[in-house]
Structure formats: C-alpha cells, structure tokens
Structure 1
Amino acid sequence: MSSDITFYATGYSDGDVDTNTSDNPTFSSIAAARYSRRQTMFSGVAALTVATLSTSLLAACSDSDAPDAPLQVSAGQDGQTSAGRPVTITGTVDAETQSVKWEQVSGPTVTLANADTRAVSFIAPGVAEQAALTFRFTATSADGRTASDETVITVTPARLGFDAVAKSLADKVVVPAGYNVTVLYRLGDPIRSNVGAYANNGSDADFDGRAGDHHDALQYFPLAASGNGPDAANNTRGLLVMNHENITQEYLHAGAPSPAPRPEREALKEMECHGVSVVEVTRAASGAWSYVQGGALNRRITPLTPMDFHGPAKGNAKLRTLFSPDGTKGRGTINNCANGYTAWGTNLTCEENWAFYFRRDAGDNNVRTPAEVRALGRYGINQGNSGNYAWTSVSPSDASSTVYRRWNATVDPAAPADGTGDFRNEPNQFGWVVEIDPYDPTKAPRKRTALGRIAHEGCWPGLFTAGRKPAFYTGDDGRGEYIFKFVSATPWAAGDAQAADRLAIGDKYLDAGTLYVAKFNADGGGEWLPLVFGQGPLTPANATYAFADQADVLIHARLAADLLGATKMDRPEWGAVNPKNGEIYFTLTNNNASGRPLGGTDAANPRHYNDLKGATNQYGNPNGHILRFRENGDNGEATSFTWDIYAFGAGADLPSQVNVSGLDASNDFSSPDGLWFSRATNPAGQNSPVVWIQTDDGAFTDQSNCMMLAAMPGAVGDGGAATITNQGADGTLRNQSTIVGKAPGANLRRFLVGPKECEITGVDSTPDGRSLFVNIQHPGEGLTGASAWPDSQNGGSSTARPRSATIVITKDDGGVVAL
C-alpha cells in the first residue's frame, strides 16, 4: 500500500503556497510514517487513494472542510477476541455524513447489528482455529463524498470465560460476576388469563391453569413472530416445555396434608401439580424475560390428560383397563423427570418413578399368575404398597369417576379376568416415553411403546444424519439398572424436520425399531444387546419369564435386559450427546454399599469408598461419576462402542484413590444428575461444545448446596487405563481396573450454586446461547424453614413458602453464556 500523502489543489489562498524548499522533514511525512496498513478509497475524485491518518493527526491537519477535500474515515483499531464474545467496532468520520455502512469482507460470516450506524456489533463466531474477520466501514458525506476503511478482528476458539463461583450454603442462586439472574416461572404462576395470581398460602386451586411443582427438565422451542408455529432462529419468543416431576405436599395446602381418607380437593390439587407445562416466554427490547399469561399455546398436561398409545404394545392385553378396554388409550403422565427432543420439533417427556404411585393390597399375589407377580415385583409394585399420597382413599364427588380409583392396581375378584373391569393393568400404562407437540394443543400426546417401559430418566437423540436410522438413548433411573438405546427402523430424511404434522413424523420414526441394552466390557469396549422377541432367552420357553410377544418384551424391558446380561449401573440419570462428535455422556448419580458392595464393582462402576459426612459413614459410590461412550464408526446404528469415565464426583479433600479426576475447590462436585450440551446453533455448542452438569446431592450438602458446572470435555480415549484401590467398611482393600479420561482441570468450573435444600435440574438456551434457562427444584425440601427462595433471591421475604421456579441467566455484556 502507498505511504504517500496526496494533496489536492484547492485554488489560490494567501499563505497556501509552499516556499520552503529545504530537505527538512514535513509534518505530512511524519504522519505518513505512522500510517497503518489500511487503504482509503474515494469516489468522485478520480478514484485516487490516500492514507488514513489516526484520529489525533486528523484533528491537527484535516482540510476536509473544503468542498473537494478527501473525506477521512477510520474503521478503528484491529482487535482480538474469542468465540462467543460480543464485539463492537466504532467507525469515525471527519465530516457531517449522509450515511454510513458496515459490511463484512472476509472470514467466517457473522450477523451484524446496527450495520447502518457508526457502531456495529456482532457475536464472535465459533471457530476451530484462529480466524481473521475483516470489516469495511464506508461513509458518505453530506455533499456526496465517499470513503471506506477496513479493520481486522482476530477470533480464537471458544473458552470458558468466567471465574468459578465458590461453594455456597446461602439461600439464593449464585452465579459468576458479570451475569444476571431473573426468576421467570414459579410454582402456581397462572398461565390462563382467567386464573388469578398465586397466593402461596395453600388456598389456591385451578392447577390445570397454573405452573405445577418440582420443575424439572425443560426445553425452549422457538416460536414464530405470528405465534402459529416454529421459527428455529427466534431468540426472543418461544415456548418453554418443562416437567413437573413431583410435589412437596406441605407447601401446597393451608395446613398439613390431611391423612387418609384424603379430601378430594387436596388430591386433585396434588395430581394437577404433576405433569408438564407448555408456556410462552418473551424477551423485551430491554432484554428482560417474562412469561405470557394467557398465551394461545399455554397448557398443562397432567395425570388427567387423555393420551394415545402407539407402537408395538398398542392394544396389547396387558394395557387393557376399565378406562380403556381395548388398551389403546390412557390418562395422563406422571413423575416426569428428564426429557428429550426430536429433529421434527416435538418434546419427549419421560416417566421415571411412576411405580410408587400405585397401591396393591395384601393378598393380591394370590390372585395373580407367577409371571405377573414377578413382573410387578421387578418394577417395585409390591403387594402392601399404599401408593404415594393415598389418592385411592378419596371418595369422589362424582361416584362414577375413576380418577382416584385408577391408582389401585389390586385385582377386583368380581371383575373380568381380562382386566377390562378394574385397574390391575394400570401400572403397565406408565413407564413410557411420551411425545408432545408443543405447537399443537389439539393433538393428544402419544406414548411411544417401542422405546420400552422402564423408569425413564430421559430420552436423548443422537446426531441426525440423512440416510441413517436415528438413535435415542435413555437411562433407567434406579440402583443397578441399565442404559438403553432405541434405533428407528426408518432412515432419517432431512425434509421431515419441516413437516407440519409433527406427531405423524413421530409415528414414522418412533413406532418401529430395535431397543437395545448396554453391556460394558472391562477392556473399554461395549455391546448393544437387542431386546427382540424370539432371540436368545426372550421366548415363551424361558423359565424365568415366558415372553408372549414383542409387546411383552417391551412392557417388561427390565426383565428382558436382566436375561440378556446387561451391565448394572450406579443409577443412570441424564444423558447428553456431544453435538460436534456424537459422543454420548451419562451421569451415574451414586450408589450405596448395598447397591454396589466392595466386591460388586466393575470397570464401568469402579469405586467403593467412604465419604464421611460429619460423623456419618457413606460407603459405596456416594459422589457418582460421568461415563461417556462413542459408537463404532460414529454411527448410531452400531452394535458396539468404546467407553471411558469422563469425571468422578468427589470433594477436593478426598484422597486421589477417590478423587480420581483431581478436582479442586473450583470444580469439586457430587451426585451428577442433569446433563446437557449447549446448542450447536451458537459458539458454545460448536467445535469444543460446553457440557453443563447439574447435581442432586445429599452426600456433599454439608459443604455446598446443589450446583451446576460448565465444562469443555475432551473425547473418549483421551486418558487411559487406571487401577483404583477400593476400601470396605472392615478395612478390606480391593483393586479395580477401569478406563479414565483426561483430568478435566480448568476446563471444568462451577458456574452456579442454588438455594437451600434444592436440586438443580433442567437446562436449555435460546438458539443464540445468550439466554440460559435453568430449573431450581424443591427449595426448602427438608421442611426446616431454611429456605424462602425465590423471595429470598433479592432480599425479599425470609418467611415466604419456597417455590420451585425457572430462572433465566444472561451476561451483562450480552455475550454467549459461559464463554
């Protein structure tokens, strides 16, 4: 580029003639020596080029007030930032302008905000390696002169951009400096326009039009500006779909819950507080989020909502009840814990600890077949169970109602033996993955029986690849239970993502396929074992349980997995799929000494130790771990995989044989539960995606309330083989080999700590990653009076009843959360 300064004749002016012919340096040549690499282009002046001077020099020597002088502009200094950070570039002009414009010249494409003003802004894009982005600033003066200048912003790969928060026992949500917390949607908040504000004193009713209790998994579904359907890129208007897993009775009623026989008003309220919310949320121009009471798509899905059965078990004799004699219909969903989503825009809600809501009277085994007794016992529906909350003790105002009676699975001796006259088969109507179209309240949710009946924690899709059959991963949340995978019978067609009838697309991919269960081998490999009727032990001739057909295999997936030799796990909770490489992560929350004794460890569940809490022994694996695996060929259809353990939960004070991952005060944790990777639509989910880890802990609560951490993990195989020395209560030592990932170090940090006696569960973001939604479940669960959250968040009432709630977290600078 030229470093010369070109002057333009302007006609005679006294004193405007250079008469000094000496060789001494001129001011112009001094300024030229400071000229940067930029080139300024002019139109209307024979396309001549001159150097752009710095602002200070322009102030000293600009002659642009003359009508034919070159217009001087600057695009600002070059700069450097990292992916996900907000960038503002301010251009300067030395004259009154008619217009200005910014445009990107090169580098990964970004969206420019306020491109027709002097100050333009954008979010630094996700990059795998350092990249240069060039931007051109063009100004047109009031008298028609035009000039441009360029600046370069260098973007480096994403990194965690916050300081870890300390452990906390405060009754508030604590986040890093530079972040803001807003309470968005609380227990009892009205979602219908005709429902009044929540009194929070036990007097409230109408919970089919209010937020339920125990907020759990959530998903943000972007909503079109018209409000009529999806808009994948909308970051300011959407539907939050969230589970309401359970209740804290004492906070719902004016006084203590009534004993059996239960009043109908109390039982109905408790039932309606379970289930799912669909609620519209919006972000104002100011940046403030709120939910929309009376939103057209707002609704509650509760244990009373009509459901349809789909897949191989639809119409099976084991689903027949007095309510649905043909076994094709059901009522409601309950104990919804984690969730999932589909590429065609629907929500998957999952029924977890549903079994304990059912009553079975003493002596019921005597009128059941041995196979029925075995199957009921395998799911924990034992005779003598009274059922959660004693709902069956209600005498309904409508004598014909079976709303409460349905929870009694005891055989009625006077009813037909096929189950159509009582609710002996009602437990078989629960334990499923349920698909909901959040954009269409006219369609009943569908229970997808091809994915098996277990205590589903959640259901997470693998990467959708055109021409390959989609895979969905799910955990059975119980000590010693299993990890499953469902592979659709139909290869993915990308056009189905835009279909208008979303539940019909669910029929296509979720009603037929193969359900597998995982077996983890000691060498770091693993196998997917198919649950297919007629194969191996899954036949009518099996002595343990005689399977009748494929529906029977799916209804009793636990029994089938037992017979196949699947690996018992330390409470499989949430799963998450890395959007970059497709690796699957699972939290194994914890196990105790009876569930995993010293001699019962294996490579995938390798620890047995004591984490002393005060004077209380905690033997087993009280702090849990996070396992990950990679499908062979990176293909969800594969029947084998490799695995390792990404991180072990532990206090930083525990010895290295327990604190295997080398955690310190910035990232020690216990009982990992919720798990989620940032969306691939923003830099936090690209190249080195951020995984979020949430805890549901009892072992570590003497040191901290439950928490959420952010991490940038490596990949399966980045560590190696290890041997852990375990110790039993009697001092016996036993070595266990395992496969351990690279220690996470500073790439794992504590991002949030919740209020007292809560669980942190449920997380999603807007597509741009700049607003993060998180659920705070059952604050004050211990009924100790320790929590008044969320009122206590900003110094409010210290005596208010605590409420589960959704919060939204944003960065003060408007950047991508965590980066």
Structure 2
Amino acid sequence: MKSPFSTIAGYDDGDIDTNRSANPHLGDLIEQRYSRRQALMGGLSAAGAAVFGGMLLSACGDDADTPVAVSAGDATTASAGRTVVLTGQSERGGRSAAWRQVSGPAVTMAVTGVNTATFTAPGVASATPLVFAFGVTSDSGVKSEAQTTVTVTPAVLGFTAVPKGLGDTVVVPSGHDVTVLYRLGDPLAAGVAAYANDGTDTNFAQRAGDHHDGMSYFGLASSGSSPDPSNSSRGVLVLNHENITAAYLHPNGPTSSNGVRPEAEAIKEIEAHGVSVVEVSRASGGAWTYVQSSSLNRRITPNTPMRFSGPAAGSALLRTAYSPDGTSGRGTINNCANGTMPWHTYLTNEENWAGYFRRNAGDAAVRTTAGLAKENVSLARYGISEGRTGNNGWTTVTPATAGNTVFSRWNATADATQAADGSGDFRHEPFQFGWVVEIDPFDPSATPRKRTALGRMNHEGCQVGRTIAGVRPAFYMGDDAQNEYIYKFVSATPWSAADASASDRLAVGDKYLNAGTLHVARFNADGTGQWLPLVFGQNGLTSSNATYPFADQADVLVNTRLAADVLGATKMDRPEWTAVNPATGEMYCTLTNNSSRRPVASGSQTGVDAANPRAYVDPKTTGGSTTGNANGHVIRLRETGDTSEASTFAWDIYAFGAGSDLDATNINLSGLDATNDFSSPDGMWFGLPSNVSGQGTPLLWLQTDDGAFTDQTNCMMLAAIPGTVGDGGTRSVTSTVGGGSATVSTRIGKTPGTTLRRFLVGPKQCEITGIHSTPDGTALFVNIQHPGEDGNARAISSNWPASQTGAASGSRPRSATIVITRSDGGIVGL
C-alpha cells in the first residue's frame, strides 16, 4: 500500500517504473504457452483455464525446468458398477506419472497405461463425488498435478431385456457369454469314466447328481484346503441335487418286476439325490472348468452319515434301528434352496422329503395301541398318510446283502413286534428329515450336522441376515407348501467378527445354530407384523394342548408346523426362497403360487388376506386355465429398529407375478410389461457385498419355476434394483373366482418399471434355480434344472445342454450349472 506520507515533499517510496529490460509480461507468457500447448494437448477453452483450471504449471528455468502443464480430464458421471477410465495428459514426458484418489469412497485403481488408470464405480445410494489427481514429476524432480471429479450415481441395470421364448437354449443379453460347467453325471474323481448319457452309467456317489438347485461359491486359498473369501478365480462350488428325472437315468426308464424295483436302479436314483462339493477354477483367459481330481470333491447323498445337533438331538422322536439313541442318521434328500454362512459353511435344506416315505394301512392303529396316537397327528400334518407307497418304490427292493436297510428305511410303517420307542424299526425315520443341514466345504472328513433348533418343515432357503458385532444374528426360512408359514431363528449368541475366520467351522455353527429362538410370522392388515416365538410352555405349546400335547422343546421343533398352527401364524402362498438385502437388512421371500387360495375360505381353500391378496383365473393361450394365485408374488419385511433381534416388522409386497396381458386393476398389480412379466417366483438372491452388486442399492436376482406362463415362455431369471419397504402405497384388490368375491386392502411397493428386467430365458421344460457369484461379481453361477422333464428316453423333449453349442438332436437332457460372464469382464447385471 502507499505510504501515508507519500504526499510530503522530499519523500520517495520507490514506487516508480525503472525496469527497462525486454523480458515478457505475464500476459505474454500465457499467450505463448497456450499457443504451444494447444497443439500438444488438443486445446483448451481459454488461456486462463489452462493455467488456473484443470491444468497447472510448476517450476521455471531452462528447458529441463520449464513449467510442466498437466490435465486430469473433464469431470464425468458414471453409475455404480461401471468401469471408469481416467486419462491424464501432460505437455511432455517426465520422470514419472501417477493417479491418486483425493476424496470419496475408496476404490482400487488399476494402471492401464502411462497416463491412464481404471476403477469400478463403487456402490452408492445417492450421487457421490469422487475426486482424483493426476501428477507428473519432471526430470528435474518438480511435480505438477491436476484434479478431476467423477460423480458416481446409484446402480442401474446394464443390459437390454431378453424377450420371452420357447427355444431350447439358455438365452442371455448381448455382451454376455454362457459356459456349461457341471452337468448331471459328470465324474468327480480321477478314474471315473465320462458320462455316456444313455442310461448305462453307474456310481453316482462319484458323479454329479440330478436336478441342480440351490448353490454357493466359496473362494479357495492357494493352499487348496482353506477359505479365501476374495478369490474369484479358484473356489469350491456346493450345490443341491433336489430330485431326479428317472425317465432319463436308465436305458429305457425305471423298471420293475411284479412290483419289485431292481436294486441297481434304486441305488442310482438314491445316489443322484443330495449335494455336490466340487472345485472350480478360472483360467487366465477367463474360461471356467471344474477340477475332476480335486481332493475336495465329494458327493453327499441320502446314504451319507449325519449327526443331529441342537435341542432335538437324542429325542425319543428321532430313535430308529439305525440310531437307537436318536443322535445320528443317514443322508439328506430333496434338497432345495440353501444358505451361505459368514463362517464359510453351506446350509442345505430338506424340502419335499415326505413323499419318499411308505406308510401301510393299519400303521395308525399300531401307534395308537403303543400309546403313540399323537404321532398320527404329526404324520398327517406333514402329509404322510396311510396308504402311501413312497416315491420311486425303493422299499420294494430286495437287497443282495442281508441286513441292508438302505431301502427298507423308507418304510415308516410301525412294526408291532418291535419296541414302541422306535429303536427297532423305522417308524421315526420321517422325523429325521425336514431339517437344515450344515456342511463344511473345506473338510471332506467332517460329518454334516442337522441343525434342529431351526425347526422341521419343508425347508426352502435359510438365509442369514446382516451380521453386526454384538447383535444376535437371524436366519430366515420358508416352508414350501400351500398355506404354510415364514420363519425366523434368532441365535442366542451375539455375533463376533472373529468367527468369520475360525478354522473349526462346524464348531462355529454349533455356537450360533444350536441355541436360540425359532419364530413364525404373523402379517397384519395394516402393514405391520409380529414374530411369534415357538417356545415350549408358552402360548399353548404345552402338554395340555388339545390338538397335539407337546412334551418338551424337542417336540415343538420336530413338530414346528403344529406349533405354528397353535400360535395363529399367517398362511402364505407357498413360501420358498428367502434373501436379505445386504445394504438395508430387509428380508424378501418368494411366494411361488397357491392353487387353493380363494376369495373366501371354504373347506380346504384359504381366503385372501392383506399379505396374500389375489385369487383369480389365469387363462392359457393354449387352452385351459389356472386358478388361485397362479403367478405368485414377492413379499418383503423390514425389522423394527433395523435389528435382527426385533419381534415386530413392517411389510409390503415388492412385486406381483403376472402376464402383462392380465387385468391391471386386480391381477397385474405391479404394472409388468413385455420386458419383465413373470410367473411363479422361486429362486432369489442378492449380490454379494464384496462387490458393487451388493452395495449401495444392491442387485436382486429372481428366478421362476412356472406352470402358469409356460404357454408363452420357458422359465426365466430377472434382475432388479428394488426399493425399500414402504416406497409404494396401499391398494384395494378385488378377487373373483366362481361365485365368490372379496376385496382386501394390501401394501404394494412402487411399480418396478425399468428397475426390473428379464435377463435370461432357459431351455424347454426347465426350472431356473440356484444362483451365486464370485466375490468380484464378474462370474455368475446359475443352475438349469430338469430340462425336458416331460419327455423320456423314447421321446426326448429337450437336448439341452448339448443344444447350447448347436449339437445334433438325440442327446438326452441333463440338469447343469452354467457360468455367465460379461464379454468386457465387468460385473454381471450392471
């Protein structure tokens, strides 16, 4: 500033121009350097921006030390899950160049060139800025740096919907690839011959079973014997084999002589059920294969030894000739959905096991005489009535080895000459099934454990909710039969993060799954609900109960359905898979369909209610129709306080299955169109939180097992980015079937629109079921179950998976696991 004395005579502050050199002014420098760098770097809008905006100058001096101009590029926007390319520029080369992140959610950058780097946009719930800096160090050690901003927006579906179809291949969107990985009959051990696929193959204890279903991928460490939850190139795939298509397993289908099944055929059919544990790997070029000779490979079949754990272990109701003390059993069967535990074990769930049992006429009288009349109530509630012959006729086999009971065990008829406690026959064998079974994929010597604290029913999935240190975790389950219930088990033990890396994984399962409280859900009309505890001695679950006198907690768990009846749980439209949103903790459950749902309850038919509001007639274009809730829906709930320990919740219906041509007022309530209409939701799974598909606004996958929509399309898989409970509103729905009519008010989520889209259509007569991914989300494993199930060896109705690669017709169909990848290597679905 000027001196205040500058006006006094004789005073001089030196503020005069005495520089007479020819050196340039700043404006001259800008003009010269802008002209030169515009040619080098593609130009800038103004010289001022070149100096003070995205491009900065450093240093001065001779040519080695002249200022270096760098640019980090313009600000951009990208949706979560997309690959972002950062490209820096500089006037001239330097000693080094590098990118660094300045702010925002941390990402992993990969260097792809001298001045370029890439990263995957992270999962976010709202628009989030990420700032990056590009720096260049000159030969003389002077650094120049510029910044740019990438604004990441919530995830969007990254594919064009595939159309409905009736073809015989798996169809996925353009830009995606399908590889058939693991098929029925594929050998699981060195020396086992390739599958002939003509009905002559044997030894299914060392081959892939049939009807691939629920599935989990576990990353495998380089040592080959322990988990590596980040490994997306080598892992263990564990999957269920729910059932069989016997018509293709034998040369000319199943046979019998005078009603007696051949032993070899029955052995093959039994062994084709159960679970596979198989090592899989991705080559450097991206191709996936399974490792036939891996030491981790094994089959768990209905003959594999099992241990019971939890409150019912040792119960009198579990005593059999095989296990007189009720602590052990043989095998697992009709395994449908699954669960992946945070301590790296696999839960397989026994669903429609009751149909495998024979029960002769007169059995009820024998039990009554023995003082076990209440067992008749139990057997009837689980669908094992007198006069049943049992699936596949296995009990008719005359074994070659005397005393072999692997066939006779399926006959639940009480032998009046044996002890009433069941230790001399197999009258209690049905009570040994209907459980959640835990398997350690990394220890072939570990005996699987049946977790009785989680109850006995037609178990579909068993998905764990979010695990939060110090909070007791919850496990959500459906009972897959018409008018059955939704359940939650809350462990007695709060979660400890250290257990995720424990070496004795089944011991961790003992810790969280053997003690706790099983609950059943009641849905109220106002959008609220309660979890009702199934505890002996409470709420009518006592020895004085008139319908079924419960003896203890083991009795409550063996007879979970009867206990839930007493508590007044809400009858649902076939509760199947459960899935938990990893970002919000909300639980989703597929309600596949219900042919007995009617406007008003009558006899064996159940009336509509707020949580199951539709009953209608769905006509087929090929003639005929289906009645009830033929297309199913997906219900979801949010725990009060967002805690797994809550006893209450809020609920709404995320989406109603329907053809887009059905009545929008009372049937197609979710406004589905040709890109996303579906029927009979079944399999369901959220992306993993280890990658963007499970972060921010996670990706939901929805699979179908349909009989109502098959006149227009084969079964399918859809991808969705759902909202949250309560994001829609209330709606009145009128159901009219025959002479009955009823109107109820229900809670419906916002219309899915473009956030729900068809991703895959399967081959003929299949079910799409079973899904999991690698930790990085770049490989998606999906199961194709029972293609061509309506055919037989003489009239083959599908040639898949041979048809996937254009093979000639004539090949018998095989259930199989496929791998779906993006051609650009990105996260599948986004």
CA positional deviation for 1:514: 1.0
The answer for the alignment partner of 2:16 in structure 1 is: none
> 1:536-551 alignment to 2 at 5 Å?
536-551=539-554
**Change over 3 Å in CA distance of 1:87–1:24 after alignment to 2:** closer
Residue 817, structure 1, aligned to residue 828, structure 2: yes
SS of the aligned residue for 2:776 comes to: coil
Aligned equivalent of 2:482, options 469, 476, 479: 479
Q: 1:187 — aligned with what? A: 184
Match of 1:172 in 2: 169
**C-alpha displacement of 1:245:** 0.3
2:590 aligned partner = 587
- Aligned-residue offset at 1:133: 2.8
Match of 2:334 in 1: 335
Residues 471-518 of structure 1, C-alpha deviations (whole Å, 9 max, x = no match): 111111000111111111111122222211111111111111111111
- Report which stretch shifted further, 693-702 or 541-550: 541-550
Contact 1:86 1:814 in 2 (8 A): no
2:717 is paired with a residue whose SS is strand
- 1:711-748 Cα deviation digits (max 9, x unpaired): 11111112222111111124x43212222222111111
> What is the correspondence of 1:271-350 to structure 2 with a 5 Å cutoff?
271-350=270-349
| Structure 1: distance between partners of 2:64 and 2:586 | 64
1:410-455 deviations in Å (ceiling 9; x for gaps): 1122222221111111111000000111111221010000111101
| CA offset digits 1:30-57 (Å, max 9, x no partner) | 4473554234465xxxx349xxxxxxxx
Q: Which residue of 2 aligns with 1:615?
A: 623
Tell me what 2:444 maps to: 441
CA–CA distance in structure 1, aligned partners of residues 572 and 322 of structure 2: 36
Distance, in Å, in 1 between the alignment partners of 2:203 and 2:473 is 40
Question: Corresponding residue for 2:14?
Answer: none
**What do residues 645-669 of structure 1 show as CA deviations (whole Å, max 9, x unaligned)?**
1111111001111111111111111
Given that 2:57 and 2:67 are in contact with CA atoms closer than 8 Å, whether structure 1 keeps it comes out as no
- Give CA deviations for 1:511-568 in whole Å, capped at 9, x if unaligned: 1111111111112111111111111221111121111111111101111111111111
Specify the code of the residue in structure 2 equivalent to 1:582.
G
Alpha carbons of 1:557 and 1:145: their partners in 2 closer, same or farther (altered >3 Å)? Answer: same
The residue type paired with residue 224 of structure 2 is G
- TM-align CA RMSD: 2.5
Pair 1:375 & 2:386 matched: no
Distance 1:227 1:434 in 2: 24
State the SS of the aligned residue for 2:554.
Answer: helix
Q: Report deviation, 1:18.
A: 11
1:527 equivalenced with 2:530 (yes/no): yes
Which structure 2 residues correspond to residues 270-669 of structure 1 after superposition, within 5 A?
270-369=269-368, 370-593=373-596, 600-613=607-620, 614-656=622-664, 657-669=666-678
Query: SS of the residue aligned with 2:326?
Result: coil
CA contact (8 A) 2:482 2:596 kept: no
Distance 2:499 2:28 in 1: 76
**Structure 1 residue 700: Cα displacement:** 0.2
Q: From 711, 718, 722, give the equivalent of 1:702.
A: 711
Please state how far the C-alpha of 1:131 moved relative to its aligned partner: 2.7
Q: For the residues of structure 2 that align with 1:142 and 1:178, how far apart are their CA atoms? A: 44
Amino acid at match of 1:128: A
- Equivalent residue letter for 2:416: P
CA contact (8 A) 1:229 1:439 kept: yes
Q: 1 CA distance for matches of 2:538 and 2:230?
A: 46
Q: Residue 546 of structure 1 aligns to a residue in which SS?
A: coil
Conserved? CA contact 2:599–2:742, under 8 Å = no
How far residue 68 of structure 1 moved from its aligned partner, in angstroms, is: 6.0
CA distance in 2, matches of 1:793, 1:814: 21
Cα separation, 2, equivalents of 1:246 and 1:23: 83
Which of residues 77, 82, 107 in structure 2 aligns to 1:80? 77
DSSP 3-state at the match of 2:167: coil
In structure 1, C-alpha distance between the alignment counterparts of 2:471 and 2:28, rounded to whole Å: 76
**SS at structure 2 position matched to 1:592:** coil
Unaligned runs of 5+ residues in structure 2 are 1-21, 39-43
Instruction: Report the alpha carbon displacement of residue 217 of structure 1 after superposing the two structures with TM.
Output: 0.7
Mark the CA change 1:286 to 1:592 in structure 2 (over 3 Å): closer, same or farther.
Answer: same
TM-aligned CA deviation for residue 624 of structure 1: 0.6
Q: Displacement of 1:702 after TM fit?
A: 0.5
8 Å Cα contact 1:479/1:595 also seen in 2: no
- Give the CA deviation at 1:393: 1.4
CA contact (8 A) 1:724 1:737 kept: yes
- 2-structure distance, mates of 1:138, 1:642: 51
Tell me the equivalent position of 1:760: 768
Equivalent residue of 1:576, what SS? Answer: strand
Separation of aligned partners in 1, 2:121 and 2:545: 60
Aligned CA distance change for structure 1 residues 536 and 29 (closer, same or farther; 3 Å): closer
Q: 2:597·2:615 contact (CA, 8 Å) conserved in 1?
A: no
Deviation at residue 766 of structure 1 after TM alignment: 1.3
Structure 2 partner of 1:129: 126
1:805 to 798, 816, 820: 816
Aligned residue pairs total 783
Q: Give the Å deviation of 1:136.
A: 3.6
Aligned with 2:800 (options 756, 766, 789): 789
In the alignment, which of 106, 109, 114 is matched to residue 109 of structure 1? 106
Partners of 2:34 and 2:509 in 1: how far apart? 72
* Letter aligned with residue 605 of structure 1: N
Q: Which whole-Å deviations, capped at 9, do the CAs of 1:567-589 have from their partners, x for residues lacking one? A: 11111111111111111111110
Which residue identity does 2:350 align to in structure 1? E
The SS at the match of 2:461 is coil
How far apart are residue 785 of structure 1 and its match?
2.8
Paired with 2:254 and 2:30, the residues of 1 have a C-alpha distance of 93
Q: Which amino acid aligns with 1:326?
A: D
Normalising by structure 2, report the TM-score: 0.90
Point out the more displaced range, 736-745 or 593-602. 593-602
Q: Measure the CA separation in 2 of the matches of 1:728 and 1:539.
A: 40
Amino acid of the structure 2 residue aligned with 1:702: D
Shift of 1:80: 2.4
Distance across 2 between alignment mates of 1:275 and 1:102: 51
Q: Is the 8 A contact 1:597 1:620 kept in 2?
A: no
Cα deviation digits, residues 140-190 of structure 1 (max 9, x gap)? 678978655544333222111221111111111111122111111111111
Asked if 1 retains the 8 angstrom alpha-carbon contact of 2:771 and 2:781, the reply is yes
- From the superposition, tell whether residues 721 and 712 of structure 1 become closer, same or farther in structure 2 (CA, over 3 Å): same
C-alpha contact (below 8 Å) 1:86/1:813 kept by paired residues: no
Task: Quote the residue 2:13 is aligned against.
Answer: none
Taking the aligned partners of 1:542 and 1:710, their CA distance within structure 2 comes to 46
Q: Which runs of 5+ in 1 are unaligned?
A: 1-16, 50-63
Residue of structure 1 in register with 2:5 after alignment: none
C-alpha distance in structure 1 between counterparts of 2:140 and 2:641, whole Å: 64
1:400/1:29 CA distance change after superposition, 3 Å? closer
- The question of whether the paired residues in 2 share the 8 Å contact of 1:223 and 1:237 is answered with yes
Preserved contact between residue 635 and residue 652 of structure 2 (Cα < 8 Å): yes
* Letter of the 2:127 counterpart: Q
Aligned counterpart, 2:742: 734
Q: Is the 8 A contact 1:789 1:803 kept in 2?
A: yes
SS for the counterpart of 1:591 is: coil
Residues 1:38 and 2:54 are matched in the alignment: yes
Work out the CA distance in 2 between the residues paired with 1:474 and 1:463: 15
Same amino acid, percent of matched pairs:
60
Asked whether the 8 Å contact 2:789–2:797 carries over to 1, the reply is no
Partner secondary structure for residue 379 of structure 2: helix
Q: Would the alpha carbon gap of residues 104 and 41 (structure 1) be closer, same or farther in structure 2, given more than 3 Å must change?
A: farther
CA distance in 2, matches of 1:121, 1:148: 18
